[in-house]
Amino acid sequence: MVEMEQLQKEAKEILKQGKVKFVIGYSKGSQNLTATPVFIKKPEHTSRLIWDPTCVQNLVKFIVDDKQKQSREKKPDERPVGIVVKGCDSRAINVLIQEKFIDRDDVYILGLSCEELGVVDEKKIAQKLEGKKIEKIEFAKKNNLIVSTKDGEKKIPVKDVLADRCLECKAHFPVIYDQLFGEETEREVKEPYKSIKKTESQSPKKRWDFWKEQLEKCIRCYACRSICPMCYCDECVADSINMAVTAETTAEEKAQKIKWIERSPALSENIGYHLIRAIHLAGRCIDCGECERACPVDIPLRLLNKKLEKAAHELFDYDVGFDHKKPSLISSFKDEDPEDFIR
Amino acid sequence: MTKDFEPTIVAFLCKWCSSAGSDLAGVSRMKYPPNVIPITVMCSGSVSPLYIFNAFQKGADGVLVSGCHPGDCHYIKGNFYARRRIALVKELLDFIGLESERFKMSWVSAAEGTKYTEIIKDFVKELKPLGPQKKLRRDQ
């Protein structure tokens, strides 16, 4: 079991010693449901840090933000950032190091093991409670959550409300850390790719109908891109803006600028955008599920990424984020890569 | 409807092998269907998934990516990278429900004019019963 006091103590210690410029962690959410990310700069504030199954966010995005901010500063603060990570988030850090976006020394990682559990899915809890407001949520004995509403306490088995990604998680403890809290317990995952199984087993026509219905909904708010720790390009191919338009720019020059995807939320453009995003995340997505959580129109975006994760695992024996010293999926190859689809 | 349908194939051919292979088919006066729009690229490894998606968006009924045989790449290993990337693109297009016949990859060397014509013939034959590709296409 992860002791919250230990985490707070360690955070306090590293802040006191000046090892880190601040610690990014979770604190109690205003709605008492999901936790809120918190930046702690002073040692006396570390008591705000919490750890429970409502800590759903992937905080690694804030490291990316900080790195980008520092790169624009005249005098960048190069001290490391302290960060609280779960197993999945730690793999995101691994990928960022692998891609040389950050150095290992840029982060001080406080790793938390999810042990037998994981994080909850807000939507699943909301369904269970039939619209009642949550006042408090906590763990009881191992497999139960106690959720208090104004009508009293309700016991919910954790398995019923765990996020899908947690049920399919291969490593629920950090793979890279400076301090580990909790234990690296073994957990059997019977169906690591359960969520895509249904879609995969359907006929192409059914699959197309499913995705057509889903992707037609997309309003192109780019929330999935904004929240993704791997989407750190300064300029995105989906809305490239790097053409300097001056008074001398001719209409022809403007017209000839390649636009891979139009901005209109038409089906074809939406599919183009989501396919490109999925491909750009192939071998990089660590399945934190943030894109799906952030999506305002509930597109099951995780499935696209999970599919490519599965392809990478099955075709190329590549598991994302476990070793930052290995070359990445797309920048490497093996002689024995499958080529039965090539004539 | 499918009787008169002539599919459009966009073929990304690597400059050093497949493009020369298609040239050989041409200068040898080999007959093959005129449905192909060849686009010469420097290497099959330079074919971004964007090109493929965009070809479909602009109305291609089939897309072919063709490069040198493994080990023959002018840039030593470009086609190995392509092989990995195209496999992923293929998985993804399959997953969203595009007919898997619509997207192909082949190795065609500069000496294989006959193979190139065979590939195109078979590709056209396979695409005809499928009808026009409307799934990813723009403006409809």
pLDDT for position A187: 78
- Can you spell out the DSSP letters for A205-269? HHHHHHHHHHHHT-----HHHHH-TT---SS-GGG-------TT--HHHHHHS--SS-SS--HHH
Helix (H) or strand (E) holding A147: strand A144-149
Residues B136, A269: C-beta atoms closer than 8 Å: no
Per-residue pLDDT for A141 more than 70?
no
Residue in this structure with the two tokens 């791997």, named with its chain if needed: A230
Please compute the mean of the pLDDT values over residues A132-141 and round it to a whole number: 72
Best to test chain A binding among B48, B63, B96 (most A CBs inside 10 Å): B96
DSSP, collapsed to helix, strand or coil, labels residue A132 as: coil
Domain boundaries, chain A: 1-129+161-190, 193-330
Considering only the beta carbons, identify the residue of B50, B87, B95 that sits closest to A341: B87
pLDDT for position A119: 86
Chain A: closest CA distance from residue B30 (Å): 20
Please compute the mean of the pLDDT values over residues A86-102 and round it to a whole number: 93
pLDDT for position A182: 86
Write the DSSP symbol of residue A95.
H
Per-residue pLDDT for A44 more than 60?
yes
Spans of chain B below 70 pLDDT: 1-3, 140
Cα distance between residue A80 and residue A195, in whole Å: 37
Please compute the mean of the pLDDT values over residues A216-223 and round it to a whole number: 93
Cα distance between residue A52 and residue A50, in whole Å: 7
pLDDT for position B88: 94
Residues B83, A206: C-beta atoms closer than 8 Å: no
Q: Which residue in A81, A27, A87, A15 sits closest to A51, CA to CA?
A: A27
**Chain B residues lying within 8 Å of A266, measured CB to CB:** 138
Q: Identify the band that residue A31 occupies on the pLDDT scale cut at 50, 70 and 90.
A: low
Residue A338's contacts (CB-CB under 8 Å, 6 or more residues apart) are: A315, B87
Cα distance between residue A61 and residue A133, in whole Å: 29
Q: Specify the pairing of strand A36-40 against strand A81-85.
A: unpaired
pLDDT for position A51: 86
Per-residue model confidence as pLDDT tens digits over B97-117: 999 899 999 999 999 999 999
Is there a contact between A189 and A127 (Cβ–Cβ < 8 Å)? no
Residues A307, B91: C-beta atoms closer than 8 Å: yes
Instruction: Show which residues on chain B lie within 8 Å of chain A, measured between beta carbons.
Output: 49-50, 53-54, 57, 70, 77, 80-81, 83-100, 104-107, 119, 135-140
Report residue A268 as tokens: 């074809």
**Chain A residues lying within 8 Å of B84, measured CB to CB:** 316, 329-330, 333, 337
Cα distance between residue A35 and residue A72, in whole Å: 30
Please compute the mean of the pLDDT values over residues A101-120 and round it to a whole number: 88
**Chain B residues lying within 8 Å of A211, measured CB to CB:** 96-97
- Identify the closest residue of chain B to A207 by CA–CA distance: B97
Q: Number of Cβ pairs closer than 8 Å across A and B?
A: 110
Please compute the mean of the pLDDT values over residues A5-24 and round it to a whole number: 91
Q: Which residue in A185, A139, A181 sits closest to A9, CA to CA?
A: A181
Q: Which residue in A83, A87, A110 sits closest to A7, CA to CA?
A: A110
**Chain A residues lying within 8 Å of B77, measured CB to CB:** 333
> Above pLDDT 70, what percent of chain A?
96
Per-residue model confidence as pLDDT tens digits over A331-342: 999 999 998 889
Residue B1 CB-density burial (10 A; 0-12 exposed, 13-18 middle, 19+ buried): exposed
Write the DSSP symbol of residue B56.
H
Cα distance between residue A300 and residue A306, in whole Å: 10
Per-residue model confidence as pLDDT tens digits over A176-198: 999 898 888 777 787 888 888 88
Judged by a CB distance cut-off of 8 A, whether residue A333 touches chain B is yes
Domains in chain B with CATH codes: 9-130 (3.40.50.960)
- Identify the closest residue of chain A to B70 by CA–CA distance: A335
**Chain A residues lying within 8 Å of B136, measured CB to CB:** 268, 271-272
Residues B83, A269: C-beta atoms closer than 8 Å: no
pLDDT for position A139: 67
Residues A338, B99: C-beta atoms closer than 8 Å: no
Residue in this structure with the two tokens 């990570």, named with its chain if needed: A85
> Above pLDDT 90, what percent of chain A?
50
Is there a contact between A286 and A88 (Cβ–Cβ < 8 Å)? yes
- Cα→Cα distances A293→A225, A227, A300, B40, Å: 12, 9, 9, 42
Alpha helices in B1-140 (DSSP H): 18-27, 49-57, 78-95, 113-127
Please compute the mean of the pLDDT values over residues A256-264 and round it to a whole number: 81
Chain B: closest CA distance from residue A311 (Å): 7
Q: Which residues pair with A160 in a beta bridge?
A: none
Residues B135, A275: C-beta atoms closer than 8 Å: no
- Identify the closest residue of chain B to A329 by CA–CA distance: B84
Cα distance between residue A33 and residue A281, in whole Å: 29
Lowest mean pLDDT among A258-262, A301-305, B13-17, B88-92: A258-262
Q: Which residues pair with B103 in a beta bridge?
A: B63
pLDDT for position A146: 79
Judged by a CB distance cut-off of 8 A, whether residue A338 touches chain B is yes
Q: Identify the band that residue A239 occupies on the pLDDT scale cut at 50, 70 and 90.
A: confident
Residues A343, B53: C-beta atoms closer than 8 Å: no
Chain A: closest CA distance from residue B33 (Å): 18
Please compute the mean of the pLDDT values over residues A32-44 and round it to a whole number: 87
Cα distance between residue B108 and residue B39, in whole Å: 15
Q: Which residues pair with A144 in a beta bridge?
A: A157
The whole-chain average pLDDT of chain A stands at 87
> Rg for chain A (alpha carbons), in Å?
22
Per-residue pLDDT for A138 more than 80?
no
